[in-house]
């Protein structure tokens, strides 16, 4: 089935804004853009139906209540739940996992075990750690190789005491999609009538890319967030088997979740309201309803095939770029390519891409154990959605090529062993030369070249020298000699080093009065840096400037 991504994209008004016409949005694993239908549903709710639900019975309240329960029914269909009673509205996957951890663990005995994996989002690690501490439970991890879980070896960590197996349906850091049928098989083999073992699937990523059928998967619980599948933020779904939800204690207490309140005890409401304390995000639920309808009217298989084509193409292209270390695998991947630049920092690369209006994410992606096991502290992650086009991925790969060409020359000379910090030779750096570059790209290249005059100085990398307010780590030291001030700088970021070189080329060796007389903010603006660099990079320059001025005075 052919899929026209350009046509699909037209339903997303953000891309039609003049400022976003060239935008390449590859940060979909963080959140997706919203179609017009979702935006309209949110506005329409406030325009026509705004009232609190369930508690009162006037016309508007009835309309809002009907809307909420209609969306719940639609959500049951979306996940193939047996009934709407099995659908609990939550703030998102995080809240749903916290609810499950709180409620399931409160019934466990000390020494009971919970199995998770190294590929989990922090939302599926931290709540279990918290509950394990509180109830003296044991956390076990699926066997892994260099951080990659071997889900086919799940059976090795199951024991008589395993009560919960909570695993990702797709990793947000690498895209890795476990074989859910294989997991189901192992759990089926393990389960006997006497063993109360619950299987939770974190489908925050999965639901964005595949049709989710909880009956087919065979899980007991499943969680997801609407904002990952074109819906609004602030609303997510918890699916739970009715018999299990019924037996579980509620999580939060308050209005809506009760049938009757006495002075010292209360009777809880029926499912699913028992788990929905307080006023729900009603407009977000209306938006969720529109997102579910939007997906129901879309060809999801064709969308998934298109995403897979883009993801495979990206992996193939990136494999040809020798300056990158690609960490994700194209097999069983929901649509993510994750990598690091061999030379320079991931943050530098992200800012370079941002300068070309390409949105990707850099960091540990709330999956620190996985990223750490890959030997990294941060990766660049590009994640696709169905509105991404072939042009998007081509522009992205071309930008990577340009960056790698720029960054390929080696970094500055190694430090002299044992020496106290010495000065960098900045005498060759001329602001005029920087200013004379024809366009922004050449100027940026020149700035990166300037960064190379700052050699590595592990001796100054101490907490007391850290520059506050700089997004990338930077260290600045200072000494005064004969009324003149001298500085030395170090950073992992080539751009920060370039900006530091620019700053130090102006102030190094000058008296405090001379430094104060300089209008460095004006110079920064005149060079077009404020306009072209991201705000966090500009802030980094001003943070360096502030610290240097403080040191000089």
Instruction: Give contact residues for ligand PMP (rule: CB under 6 A).
Output: 92-94, 121, 123-124, 168, 172, 202, 204-205, 225, 366
Minimum distance from CB of 321 to ligand PMP (Å)?
Answer: 26
Q: Token pair 């991931």 is at which residue?
A: 346
What is the spatial distance between Cα 326 and Cα 481, in angstroms, rounded to a whole number? 48
Residue 334 tokens read as 């929901």
- CA-CA distance, 179 to 441, in Å (whole number)? 45
Cα separation of 407 and 343, whole Å? 7
Cβ proximity to ligand PMP, 223 vs 515, nearer residue: 223
Question: Which residue, among 408, 389, 401, 380, has the nearest Cα to 317 in the 3D structure?
Answer: 401
Q: How far is the CB of 206 from ligand PMP (least distance, A)?
A: 8
Q: Measured from the CB of residue 432, what is the shortest distance to ligand PMP in angstroms?
A: 47
Verify cis geometry, omega within 30 degrees of 0, for the bond prior to 37.
no
Which residues on adjacent β-strands are paired with residue 466? 475
SS3 494: helix
Give the DSSP letter string of 100-138. HHHHHHTT--TT-EEEE-TT--GGGTHHHHHHHHHHT-E
Alpha carbons 527 and 322: distance in angstroms, whole number: 33
Which pair of structure tokens corresponds to residue 365?
């992606």
Name the residue nearer to ligand PMP (CB basis): 328 or 453.
Answer: 328
| CB neighbour class for 232 (10 Å; exposed up to 12, middle 13-18, buried from 19) | buried
Beta carbon of residue 209, minimum distance to ligand PMP (angstroms, whole number): 12
Measured between alpha carbons, how far is 345 from 492 in angstroms, rounded to an integer?
6
Question: Of 264, 222, 16, 266, whose CA–CA distance to 99 is shortest?
Answer: 222
- Burial (Cβ within 10 Å: 0-12, 13-18, ≥19) of residue 58: exposed
The tokens describing 498, both together, are 């370039």
Distance linking the first and last C-alpha atoms of the chain: 69
Cβ proximity to ligand PMP, 173 vs 502, nearer residue? 173
Instruction: Find out whether 282 and 96 touch, Cβ atoms under 8 Å.
Output: no
Q: Which is nearer to ligand PMP, 172 or 280 (CB)?
A: 172
DSSP letter at 45 equals: I
Q: Is 366 a catalytic residue?
A: yes
* Residue with Cβ nearer ligand PMP (237 or 502): 237
8 Å CB contact between 452 and 411: yes
**What is the closest distance, in whole angstroms, from the C-beta atom of residue 34 to ligand PMP in the complex?**
14
Q: Min. distance of Cβ 466 from ligand PMP in angstroms? A: 29
Which residues touch 233 (CB under 8 Å, ≥6 apart)?
Answer: 31, 92, 225, 226, 227, 284
Measured from the CB atom, the residue of 139 and 518 that comes closer to ligand PMP is: 139
Q: Measured from the CB of residue 307, what is the shortest distance to ligand PMP in angstroms?
A: 16
Name which of 94 and 328 has its Cβ closer to ligand PMP. Answer: 94
Which C-beta is closer to ligand PMP: that of 54 or that of 228?
228
Q: How far apart are CA 212 and CA 187, in angstroms?
A: 19
Least distance to ligand PMP, CB of residue 194, Å: 31
Catalytic option among 90, 105, 219, 366: 366
Residue 448 to residue 435: CA distance in whole angstroms: 14
CB of 389 to ligand PMP, least distance (A): 23
Place of tokens 């074109």: 230
The residue (of 115 and 545) whose beta carbon lies closer to ligand PMP is 115
Catalytic residues: 366
């Amino acid at each position: 089935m052919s899929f026209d991504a350009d046509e699909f994209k037209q339903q997303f008004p953000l891309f039609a804004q003049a400022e976003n016409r060239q935008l390449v949005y590859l940060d979909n694993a963080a959140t997706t853009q919203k179609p017009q239908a979702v935006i309209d549903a949110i506005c329409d709710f406030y325009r026509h139906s705004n009232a609190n639900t369930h508690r009162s019975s006037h016309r508007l309240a009835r309309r809002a209540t009907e809307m909420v329960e209609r969306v719940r029914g639609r959500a049951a269909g979306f996940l193939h739940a047996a009934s709407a009673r099995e659908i609990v509205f939550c703030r998102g996957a995080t809240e749903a996992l916290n609810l499950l951890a709180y409620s399931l663990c409160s019934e466990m005995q000390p020494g009971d075990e919970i199995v998770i994996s190294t590929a989990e989002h922090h939302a599926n690690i931290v709540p279990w750690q918290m509950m394990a501490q509180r109830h003296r439970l044991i956390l076990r991890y699926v066997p892994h190789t260099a951080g990659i879980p071997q889900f086919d070896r799940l059976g090795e960590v199951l024991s008589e005491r395993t009560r919960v197996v909570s695993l990702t349906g797709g990793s947000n850091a690498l895209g890795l999609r476990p074989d859910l049928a294989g997991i189901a098989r192992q759990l089926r083999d393990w389960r006997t009538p006497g063993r109360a073992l619950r299987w939770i699937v974190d489908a925050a990523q999965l639901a964005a890319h595949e049709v989710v059928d909880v009956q087919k998967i065979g899980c007991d619980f499943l969680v997801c967030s609407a904002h990952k599948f074109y819906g609004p933020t602030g609303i997510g779904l918890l699916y739970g088997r009715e018999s299990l939800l019924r037996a579980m204690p509620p999580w939060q207490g308050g209005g809506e979740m009760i049938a009757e309140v006495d002075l010292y005890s209360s009777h809880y409401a029926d499912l699913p309201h028992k788990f929905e304390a307080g006023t729900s995000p009603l407009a977000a639920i209306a938006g969720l309803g529109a997102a579910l309808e939007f997906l129901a009217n879309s060809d999801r298989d064709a969308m998934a095939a298109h995403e897979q084509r883009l993801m495979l193409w990206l992996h193939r292209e990136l494999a040809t770029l020798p300056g990158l270390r690609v960490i994700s695998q194209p097999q069983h991947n929901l649509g993510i390519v994750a990598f690091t630049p061999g030379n320079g920092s991931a943050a530098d690369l992200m800012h370079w891409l941002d300068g070309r209006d390409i949105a990707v994410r850099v960091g540990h992606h709330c999956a620190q154990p996985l990223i750490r096991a890959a030997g990294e502290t941060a990766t660049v992650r590009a994640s696709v959605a169905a509105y991404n086009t072939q042009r998007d991925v081509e522009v992205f790969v071309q930008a990577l090529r340009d960056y790698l060409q720029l960054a390929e020359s080696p970094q500055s000379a190694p430090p002299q062993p044992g020496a106290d910090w010495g000065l960098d030779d900045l005498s060759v750096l001329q602001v005029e030369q920087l200013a004379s570059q024809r366009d922004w790209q050449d100027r940026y290249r020149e700035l990166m070249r300037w960064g190379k005059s700052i050699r590595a100085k592990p001796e100054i990398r101490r907490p007391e020298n850290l520059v506050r307010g700089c997004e990338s780590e930077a260290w600045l030291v200072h000494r005064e000699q004969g009324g003149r001030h001298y500085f030395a700088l170090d950073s992992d970021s080539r751009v920060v080093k370039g900006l530091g070189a620019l700053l130090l080329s102006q102030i190094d060796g000058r008296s405090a009065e001379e430094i104060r007389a300089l209008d460095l903010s004006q110079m920064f603006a005149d060079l077009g840096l404020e306009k072209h660099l991201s705000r966090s990079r500009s802030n980094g320059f001003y943070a360096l400037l502030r610290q240097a001025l403080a040191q000089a005075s």
